Structure 1
Amino acid sequence: MASFFKTDDGKWRAQVSIGGRRKSKRGFATKREATAWAYELEREAKESLSSDIPDRPFRDALERYRDTVSIKKRGQKFEIRRIDRWLGNGQDSADPLCFIGLSDLQSKHFAEWRDRRLQEVAVGTVLREWTVLSSICNTCAKEWGWLKANPMTNVKRPKEPESRTRRLLPGEFEQLMVATQYDIDIPPESKSERIGAAIVFAIETAMRAGEICGITWEDVNLERRTVHLPKTKNGNPRTVPLSTTAVKVLQQLQTLEDCQRKAFNLKSDSLDVNFRKIRNKCLIDDLHFHDLRREALTRLAKKVDVLNLAKISGHTDLRILQKVYYAPDMGDIALMLD
């Protein structure tokens, strides 16, 4: 039986009794982390002498993975949200996968899950969820001994959707600037103006929404015209060069009191939601904030070679850069041939 105590420094200590001996550990930032540690010790004690698949439902695998693996990931918020949805910790009921015993789990169950989800959400969403489920099954098989093998390896993965090619159409940038009331010569004090500044900055730098929102002044060097990104989507830090326009955006933000720590003082969720509202207000169809990254890279491709373009964007696979993000106008390419 495990016990948990909050220490004087605000952290948590866990204590668990195994085989008549007590084990204790302190310094956990949250009770969930302390619970996960105690749960792991108890599980190992119960199953260390057994090579058989435990008599547990798949729900237990989802919970254990969420509490011991997901919490260590940079994208933990989104992964935990997905797992909680499968567990029924929200408005939706638990997925049927939760109630299947680990010893009974077969490829057909994941094929049924795939077909179910394809009726409910887009293929891209199913593929992202597929990655999480497959990782859970791999961990069960390779590390925990809860499965003999990953049953998803025998299930046909949905076909990747066609890559987006959406770029700004003539007049759309001007519409967005009017809607946000952003003027690059004036400090953007309102949230709407701040969204406008982020739009311009994204087009000038090819940075993602989360990267833009995470910029701190410590990472900005206006003399060298660079911004350093210590944490990126693929885990590799990179330094992004800044155009004259991008520098001007930052210089205006630097004068604002509420932007003294984070340059834009925006959260990525808020940026995305407000961008969609502004887009809809302009009656612009099917434009995502992330499409501005494609717009930026296509423009930058006219100025730098492909290797420098990959350095700016952070792509390690040039095929993805070419297939997904670089969308040139063949009419423009034709003019370059003369």
Structure 2
Amino acid sequence: MKLPKPIQRGSSWRITVTFDKKRYSVTKDTAKECELWAAHKLLELKTGKVDIEQGIKPSYPFKELCDKYYQEHGRHMRSARTINFKLKNLDRIAPNLLNKSIYDFKPADIAEWRNKRKKEVKVSTLRNEHAIYSAVFTYAMKELFLIESNVWHSVTMPSKEKSRNQRITDEQQEQLLKALSWNGTTTPENSRQYVAWAFLFALETAMRQGEILAMRRADIRDGFVHLPMTKNGETRNVPLSKEAKRLLALLANNNDELLPIDKDVCCATWVRAKKRAGLPGINFHDSRHEAITRMVKVRKLPVEVLAKITGHKTIGILINTYYNPDAQDLVEMFNDSES
């Protein structure tokens, strides 16, 4: 920016600078002093030094902080795909917070967002978004030292919804296989059939969808699958039943990649298949519930062994969320204990 010319007023000199539609002026003894003052003043205004010294912080839009968080931290996390989606879609998910400076956030702003969002999505989705945006502020507090506290922590979120207890019956299993055009006995040849294979393998092993898709031939050991990286960041060994071994034997043996499909293809294929099967309420992850429940019922596995197989660190979650026996199962187990 070009400096203005000082104007002589009697025995003194005066100079005026304009920044952001505001005028600042000073009177000095010489023209040179005016020019030095003007240069220094413009530098202060551009860097925000004056505002900071007066306790006024420059605007830092939430969107900019989210972008920085993802590039420096979020993209390295195992949940990067979800984090990226929630941050990239701020204009739709949190339009009232998108361009708001992080220094101007108030609990009322977040509560307003929560109340509106609660009418649009499930509680689990709302809680997930709150956790991600709160993590962004924690990053600004503990890594960038921009703020002293996390305002997201001051707003209460709705309680967790009741855990799913969806089971998958033999009939539903057959309906889904039919919708995926696979009979369970031939080598999979297309996306539908690979998704069907993954579904059956999940029912036998209680493995997560992502863990199955990430399997490599080198991970298949004598009697178990070695998972070098799981959701909780640790390795895990999953025993293979006879049925699981049979399914593995059906896969082509010509490369290290066992399933040539990614998560996006798998999810989209599954959604279409369950609609064709007339089972819109069945999620792929329900196979994990079903597999765990079957392991207890059929194999009588003690909970500490089951936790090692499924990778649960918290026994309570394993028992209360994923183990879903019906009344008849409980009656049979109760009677078996008396015999």
Q: TM-score with structure 1 length normalisation?
A: 0.78
Which residue among 217, 222, 225 is the counterpart of 2:223? 225
Contact 1:203 1:295 in 2 (8 A): yes
Q: C-alpha separation between the residues in 1 aligned to 2:201 and 2:309?
A: 14
Q: C-alpha separation between the residues in 2 aligned to 1:54 and 1:181?
A: 61
Q: Does 1:330 align with 2:334?
A: no
The superposition leaves residues 235-265 of structure 1 with CA deviations (integer Å, 9 ceiling, x where unpaired) of 111011111111111111034x4xx222122
Q: Does 1:186 align with 2:186?
A: yes
Q: C-alpha separation between the residues in 2 aligned to 1:144 and 1:321?
A: 37
Alignment of 1:1-338 (within 5 A): 54-55=57-58, 56-86=60-90, 88=91, 92=92, 95-221=95-221, 224-255=222-253, 257=254, 260-302=255-297, 303=299, 304-338=301-335
Structure 2, unpaired ranges of 5+: 1-46
Q: CA deviation at 1:57?
A: 2.5
Runs of 4+ in 1 over 3 A off after TM superposition: 50-54
**SS of residue matched to 1:98:** coil
Structure 1, unpaired ranges of 5+: 1-44
**SS of residue matched to 1:301:** helix
The superposition leaves residues 261-317 of structure 1 with CA deviations (integer Å, 9 ceiling, x where unpaired) of 221222122112111211111112300000000000000112111111111110000
Q: C-alpha separation between the residues in 2 aligned to 1:268 and 1:57?
A: 33
Q: C-alpha separation between the residues in 2 aligned to 1:266 and 1:85?
A: 26
Q: C-alpha separation between the residues in 2 aligned to 1:213 and 1:289?
A: 13
Coordinate RMSD, CA, aligned: 2.1
Residue 170 and residue 74 in structure 1: after superposition, are their counterparts in 2 closer, same or farther (change >3 A)? closer
Residue 280 and residue 102 in structure 1: after superposition, are their counterparts in 2 closer, same or farther (change >3 A)? closer
Q: C-alpha separation between the residues in 1 aligned to 2:283 and 2:114?
A: 26
CA radius of gyration, larger in? 2
Give the % identical residues.
30
Residue 278 and residue 58 in structure 1: after superposition, are their counterparts in 2 closer, same or farther (change >3 A)? closer
Q: CA deviation at 1:159?
A: 1.2
Q: C-alpha separation between the residues in 2 aligned to 1:225 and 1:53?
A: 64
Contact 2:57 2:103 in 1 (8 A): yes
Count how many residue pairs are aligned between Structure 1 and Structure 2: 283
Contact 2:211 2:230 in 1 (8 A): yes
Aligned partner of 2:13 in structure 1 is: none
Amino acid at match of 2:281: D
Residue 242 and residue 68 in structure 1: after superposition, are their counterparts in 2 closer, same or farther (change >3 A)? same
Aligned partner of 2:8 in structure 1 is: none
Aligned partner of 1:13 in structure 2 is: none
The superposition leaves residues 124-148 of structure 1 with CA deviations (integer Å, 9 ceiling, x where unpaired) of 1111111111111112222322222
The superposition leaves residues 56-100 of structure 1 with CA deviations (integer Å, 9 ceiling, x where unpaired) of 2323322221221112212212211211111x3xxx487221222
